[in-house]
Chain A
Amino acid sequence: MSEKKFERIALVGNPNSGKSSVFNHLTGLNQKVGNFPGVTVDKKTGYTRLPDGRRVRVLDLPGTYSLYPRSLDERVVFDVLIDTLNEDYPDVVVVVADAANLKRNLLLFTQIKDLGIPVILALNMLDVSTNLGQKVRPIQIAKHLDVPVISINGRTGEGIELLKKALSEGFDVSKQPVCDISSFSPEVIKAVQEKYQIENPYRAYLYAQQWRFLKHIPALERLEIEKTAKEHLFQNEFYQSKETINRYKYIDKILEEAVEYNVQESRNLTRKLDKLFTHRIFGYVIFLFILFLIFQAIFSWASTPMDFIDWSFSELASFLHDRLPSNKLVDLLTEGIIPGIAGVLIFIPQIAILFAFIALLEETGYMARVVFLMDKFMRRFGLNGKSVVPLISGVACAIPAIMSTRTIDNWKERISTILVIPLMSCSARLPVYTILIALVVPKHYVFGFLNLQGLVLMGMYLLGFLMAIVSAVVINKILQTREKSYFIMEMPLYKFPRWKNVGLTIVEKSKTFAFEAGKVILAISIILWALASYGPEERMQAAAQYVNDNYDISELSDNEIQDKIQAYKLENSYAGILGKSIEPVIEPLGYDWKMGIALITSFAAREVFVGTMATIYSIGSVDLEDEATIKNRMKAEKDPKTGERKYTLPVAISLLLFYAFAMQCMSTLAITWRETKSWKWPMIQLVYMSVLAYVSALLAYQVLS
């Protein structure tokens, strides 16, 4: 037995190996999502208690097929395992392998074993493998590889205790490598070993193979490694292919003894489902139906909890407003902070539902079929089949959507996808759309059952998608790259979803949204409140005098006088001054200074539009407003010049178009910056979308009015 106790465990495995289920079983809700330094690849860590009572750290590394990374996600696995001084370098690795697909899953295992890290093989999905007519003998595998092999079931949690037991007991590390690389340029390996004091030859060999990706080594030293490799004719590609072939040869030898294959072919269910789901007509019909279902769910199921959140926060605000002494601090709380928090929480039902669906589609294996169905179609626009999932996610929120583009390994396709995602109508636009549509589109039924307002709303989503596609084509024409686009994707077997995984995804994504986007939205709400509540001293003080001079006070009630004073104060507040200063620019679009304030604040986050409108039309008012009365107020709003209704059809359409296309979300720009590691892309995103928004709103208003 080895003396050293394992303190830090890393889970590694192929995509679709059930690794996250194992992680969820080990850590339960006791997990945290952070980032790996420098990249926004999710870093999931958690803690688990071992049978000996120790609490140890578990790190869930992204799924990968080998230690030769293709995508950003995969590179993280290499980063963590190659550098023994990496802050996440584990004491022990648990490789989760799909027993039904053992051959390919063992390739990664043998690479990690050769790195000299203590490793345990966790055989998952033995039940699936049995159903496929295979008989796997874990003991034979353990004998050959000289490592602990534990049978587990990620679905039921069976075997997890055995895995924990093995982790708490520790074991001797087998030194015998699977693949002998000593004949691959021994001079290079030796030089690297000496320079970096690396004991393990395979680790040194990987340094030479992938010097480009050695993040922990200064760039100059990396070139040094390249030079040494060149001097000794280190043949990267030849060695890599030889290595892969040798490993598979070894794996074949093990599997020959350890697995018994029955000739009977029993992937029947997957075959039948594939016939249906990738059928040239039904495949698309089913996909559209699923999309339709997701939309319906987002809009109808989410409305009750959203109304409830809305109602409870406005109740809370008015309760506090009534009970607490009337001063600026209370105003800040009831008019700034509480509506701000409500503005964040209100999106959580929609985000939770969307991610429930996405997790379900991924869990069942259907998502790979969507990618398969859509690849050729998306490629026409310079995108990739893998862009479909991020684009769909963009309907909930661009932030997680942009983060999910990491699975696209082609740089150009990934950048194009990131750039167009914010054109997909995210849930933050929904309140803007709803209130504007309700203002100008009659509650009419087409064919007796199709709600006209609903149809227009769907049209807005379609418009966003079309614009995203068109923009992708243009971006594709501009961006030049020599990089090849790869597809190469595993089609997993269809599986029944694991509800625990779906549940944990929902919790995790909602939390990310609440904290990432929440910070900005809350801050903007407070700033906006301050800008709208304060103004130059002399102008604010003149408010009462102004109302006195311009209205017949004797005919007005106290409330009406108060409203007039507040309206004057708003017009002369900092926000009002700001709104008025941009009026010349936005007048051709049909907007006045009040909308101007909303536009300015919306550039931080578009969901503050309704909140801003509420603030502008209600600040200081005795009653706190709900959305219906904001709508009434907007309806009653008159154009001071013509005396006509301000929110006419052309104005509403112009506003709808502006909100559909404008890049009004600082969090999205921030995430684009983080994902592309450059200010260039968020700036391009901001400029092209703003121009698009301005021009289309201008055209719409000028043509229609």
Chain B
Amino acid sequence: MSRSASDLKPGEAGIIKGYQDNVISLKLMEMGCLPGETIKLNFRAPLGDPISFDVAGYSLSLRISEAANILIE
């Protein structure tokens, strides 16, 4: 079972290795979530969702369902 970006803990980082869904991966790649890039979970919204990440030198917020498409190692 591989981990996804939504499994990270606040402050924890992972390296992107792929995606689960094709369509959303195109958008995520445009936004700088590329394979090999480090993605760090910053903090979660008070209701647990969405999540704020640090990636490619800026902050990006994703819903859990979106972050779950980013596979990390």
**A375 adjacent to B50 (CB under 8 Å):** yes
**What residues of B have a CB within 8 angstroms of the CB of A488 in the complex?**
27-28, 31, 60-62, 66
**A490 adjacent to B49 (CB under 8 Å):** no
Q: Give the distance to chain A from B21, nearest Cβ to Cβ, in Å.
A: 9
**B52 adjacent to A244 (CB under 8 Å):** no
> Residue on B with the closest CB to A261?
B57
**Is A101 in contact with chain B by the CB < 8 A criterion?**
yes
Which positions 230-260 of chain A face chain B at CB distance < 8 Å?
237, 240-241, 244-245, 248
Interface size class of B (residues with CB under 8 A): 20 to 34
**Is A279 in contact with chain B by the CB < 8 A criterion?**
yes
**Is A496 in contact with chain B by the CB < 8 A criterion?**
no
Which positions 42-85 of chain A face chain B at CB distance < 8 Å?
65-66, 68, 70
**A237 adjacent to B59 (CB under 8 Å):** no
**What residues of A have a CB within 8 angstroms of the CB of B48 in the complex?**
376
Given A372-B45, A491-B52, do A244 and B57 touch, yes or no (CB 8 Å)? no
**B45 adjacent to A103 (CB under 8 Å):** no
Q: Give the distance to chain B from A262, nearest Cβ to Cβ, in Å.
A: 13
**A491 adjacent to B30 (CB under 8 Å):** no
> Residue on B with the closest CB to A375?
B50
**B61 adjacent to A68 (CB under 8 Å):** no
**B52 adjacent to A486 (CB under 8 Å):** no
**Is B47 in contact with chain A by the CB < 8 A criterion?**
yes
**What residues of A have a CB within 8 angstroms of the CB of B49 in the complex?**
375-376
Given A284-B46, A376-B50, do A490 and B63 touch, yes or no (CB 8 Å)? no
**A101 adjacent to B25 (CB under 8 Å):** no
Q: Give the distance to chain A from B26, nearest Cβ to Cβ, in Å.
A: 5
Which positions 463-491 of chain A face chain B at CB distance < 8 Å?
484, 486-491
**B27 adjacent to A375 (CB under 8 Å):** no
- State in angstroms the CA–CA spacing of A377 and B48 once bound together: 11
Which positions 98-130 of chain A face chain B at CB distance < 8 Å?
100-104, 107
**A244 adjacent to B66 (CB under 8 Å):** no
**What residues of A have a CB within 8 angstroms of the CB of B24 in the complex?**
484, 486
Given A274-B52, A491-B60, do A283 and B46 touch, yes or no (CB 8 Å)? yes
- State in angstroms the CA–CA spacing of A244 and B30 once bound together: 6
**A489 adjacent to B61 (CB under 8 Å):** yes
What does the 1/0 interface line of B40-73 toward A look like (CB < 8 Å)? 0011011111101000111111110010000000
**What residues of B have a CB within 8 angstroms of the CB of A100 in the complex?**
57-58
**What residues of B have a CB within 8 angstroms of the CB of A284 in the complex?**
46
**B30 adjacent to A487 (CB under 8 Å):** no
Which positions 10-50 of chain B face chain A at CB distance < 8 Å?
22-32, 34-35, 42-43, 45-50
**Is A407 in contact with chain B by the CB < 8 A criterion?**
no
**A372 adjacent to B61 (CB under 8 Å):** yes
**What residues of A have a CB within 8 angstroms of the CB of B29 in the complex?**
241, 244-245, 248
**A375 adjacent to B63 (CB under 8 Å):** yes
**B25 adjacent to A373 (CB under 8 Å):** no
**A103 adjacent to B32 (CB under 8 Å):** yes
Given A65-B30, A66-B30, do A490 and B60 touch, yes or no (CB 8 Å)? yes
Contact partner of A487 among B22, B59, B61, CB < 8 A?
A: B61
Which positions 284-314 of chain A face chain B at CB distance < 8 Å?
284
**B31 adjacent to A372 (CB under 8 Å):** no
**What residues of A have a CB within 8 angstroms of the CB of B56 in the complex?**
103-104
> Residue on A with the closest CB to B51?
A372
Given A486-B27, A487-B62, do A104 and B32 touch, yes or no (CB 8 Å)? yes
**B58 adjacent to A237 (CB under 8 Å):** no
**What residues of B have a CB within 8 angstroms of the CB of A368 in the complex?**
61
**B26 adjacent to A491 (CB under 8 Å):** no
Q: Give the distance to chain B from A102, nearest Cβ to Cβ, in Å.
A: 8
What does the 1/0 interface line of A487-531 toward B look like (CB < 8 Å)? 111111100000000000000000000000000000000000000
Q: Give the distance to chain B from A74, nearest Cβ to Cβ, in Å.
A: 11
**Is A676 in contact with chain B by the CB < 8 A criterion?**
no
> Residue on B with the closest CB to A134?
B57
**What residues of A have a CB within 8 angstroms of the CB of B42 in the complex?**
274
- State in angstroms the CA–CA spacing of A291 and B43 once bound together: 24
**What residues of B have a CB within 8 angstroms of the CB of A621 in the complex?**
none
Contact partner of B43 among A104, A274, A492, CB < 8 A?
A: A274
**Is A280 in contact with chain B by the CB < 8 A criterion?**
yes
Which positions 408-461 of chain A face chain B at CB distance < 8 Å?
none
- State in angstroms the CA–CA spacing of A375 and B28 once bound together: 19
**B30 adjacent to A68 (CB under 8 Å):** yes
**B46 adjacent to A278 (CB under 8 Å):** yes
**B26 adjacent to A489 (CB under 8 Å):** no
Q: Give the distance to chain A from B45, nearest Cβ to Cβ, in Å.
A: 5
> Residue on A with the closest CB to B44?
A278
**What residues of B have a CB within 8 angstroms of the CB of A490 in the complex?**
31, 58-61
**What residues of A have a CB within 8 angstroms of the CB of B32 in the complex?**
103-104, 107, 248
Contact partner of A278 among B26, B31, B43, B58, CB < 8 A?
A: B43
- State in angstroms the CA–CA spacing of A107 and B30 once bound together: 8
- State in angstroms the CA–CA spacing of A68 and B23 once bound together: 12
- State in angstroms the CA–CA spacing of A70 and B28 once bound together: 12
**What residues of B have a CB within 8 angstroms of the CB of A270 in the complex?**
59
- State in angstroms the CA–CA spacing of A491 and B48 once bound together: 17
**What residues of A have a CB within 8 angstroms of the CB of B57 in the complex?**
100-104
**A248 adjacent to B34 (CB under 8 Å):** yes
- State in angstroms the CA–CA spacing of A278 and B61 once bound together: 12
Q: Give the distance to chain B from A237, nearest Cβ to Cβ, in Å.
A: 5
- State in angstroms the CA–CA spacing of A377 and B45 once bound together: 11
**What residues of B have a CB within 8 angstroms of the CB of A248 in the complex?**
29, 32, 34
- State in angstroms the CA–CA spacing of A270 and B43 once bound together: 13
Which residues does B use to contact A, with CB under 8 Å? 22-32, 34-35, 42-43, 45-50, 52, 56-63, 66
- 13 A/B residue pairs, CB under 8 Å, sorted by A: A65-B31, A104-B57, A237-B26, A241-B25, A241-B29, A274-B52, A278-B52, A279-B46, A376-B47, A385-B50, A488-B62, A489-B61, A492-B59
Which residues does A use to contact B, with CB under 8 Å? 65-66, 68, 70, 100-104, 107, 237, 240-241, 244-245, 248, 270, 274-275, 278-281, 283-284, 368, 372-373, 375-377, 385, 484, 486-493
Closest 3 CB pairs of A and B: A280-B46, A491-B59, A376-B47
- Beyond A244-B26, A491-B52, 4 additional pairs, beta carbon < 8 A: A104-B56, A375-B45, A377-B47, A385-B50
